[in-house]
Amino acid sequence: MDTIVTTSKSAGGDLVATAERLAARLRSPYMRREGRSLAELRAASGGEIVIVLESDRTVCRVGGKVFFFHPNMAKQRISVLALGQSDPMTDALELRPGDHVLDATLGLGADAIVAAHVVGESGRVVATESVAIIAEIVADGLQRFTCDLAELNAAMRRVEVVAEDHLTFLRRQAEDGFDVVYFDPMFETPLLSSVALSPLRELADHRRVSPEAIAEARRVARRRVIVKHNRESPVWDELGISQVVGGSASPVAYGIIWCQEDRP
Ligand SMILES: C[S@@+](CC[C@H](N)C(=O)[O-])C[C@H]1O[C@@H](n2cnc3c(N)ncnc32)[C@H](O)[C@@H]1O
């Protein structure tokens, strides 16, 4: 789909310059707004995806849907952790302060934010996203979105986004370069409860995690590789994952591949 980049009607010079740089990174045309409506810009350019830089966020309009960064459930999950309660993802990953985590499927970044909160300032969370528009919008939001929970703001700022396919990224990493590698691919049958991911679906990369990516992740992870999926899914067999946790009270389960250090 063709993409154009523009700004809100009231944008000043700084925002215009930022929009021009974003357009260059996405190799898409930048269109001056000049008071025109988005429908007029679309008609003039033929662009089906319109990215609009606003003063406090970047918005992507595609197929009648609007996609922008929001931390979604990350705020609630961090608050729950602060009460000493558990989080299924951080439990499955067995995250500890200081861990280096590769989130291989950034999406809207909620899992990466929660991971960054748990590993803390001494840890590191790198998150790959193969769809450049998603990577750009989420990376921008992670730096700019501010709410009333200081821990959430700090965690968002620490997530390092890499706009790249995870297999390409993994191939460049050293053996044991991360403690944990985590995959949360798009579910083939979306869960009704995952409303937050609905606008993402139009843009997202829907490929399954490949056996090659798992093999690379096993090489790169020191402790474990985790794959999130529906409990009833052929992916467990496809990827050779026999240890699956969670999913008794929820349709979501986590497959665990133990690496060198965590192997029981
Ligand atoms: C279900 S979403 C992840 C949701 C995320 N865990 C969260 O908390 O918001 C899956 C994301 O992974 C991305 N993705 C799929 N295949 C990928 C690949 N090979 N490399 C990098 N990102 C990929 C999709 O584009 C999508 O944005």
Residue whose Cα lies nearest atom 26 of ligand 1: it is 107
Are 174 and 151 in contact by the 8 Å Cβ rule? The answer is no
Per-residue pLDDT of the chain (264 residues; tens, 9 = 90+): 799 999 999 999 999 999 999 999 999 999 999 999 999 999 999 989 999 999 999 999 998 889 999 998 999 999 999 999 999 999 999 999 999 999 999 999 999 999 999 999 999 999 999 999 999 999 999 999 999 999 999 999 999 999 999 999 999 999 999 999 999 999 877 665 555 567 788 899 999 999 999 999 999 999 999 999 998 888 999 999 989 998 677 889 999 999 976 666
Residues in CB range of 101: below 8 A, 6 or more apart: 93, 95, 112, 115, 119, 123, 124, 125, 126, 178, 179, 180, 181, 182
Centre of ligand 1 to C-alpha 138, Å, is: 12
For the stretch 36-40, contacts whose Cβ atoms lie closer than 8 Å and that sit 24 or more positions apart, written own/partner, are 38/6
Name the closest-CA residue to atom 11, ligand 1.
107
Measure 109 CA to ligand 1 centroid, in angstroms: 9
Residue 111 Cα: closest atom of ligand 1? 8
Say yes or no: CB of residue 170 within 6 Å of ligand 1.
no
Q: Is 87 in the pocket of ligand 1 (CB under 6 A)?
A: no
Q: State the ipTM, two decimals.
A: 0.99
DSSP H or E run through 244: strand 243-245
pLDDT of residue 188: 77
Cβ(15) – ligand 1 distance below 6 Å: no
C-beta neighbour count of 35 within 10 angstroms: 7
If we measure between CA atoms, which residue out of 119, 115, 126 comes closest to residue 99?
119
| Residue 199: partners with Cβ closer than 8 Å, 6 or more residues away | 65, 66, 67
Q: Return the amino acid letter for 197.
A: L
* Domain parsing of the chain, residue ranges: 3-55, 74-258
Whether CATH 3.20.20.140 fits 74-258: no
- Residue 79 pLDDT: 96
Ligand 1 atom showing the smallest separation from residue 72 Cα? 9
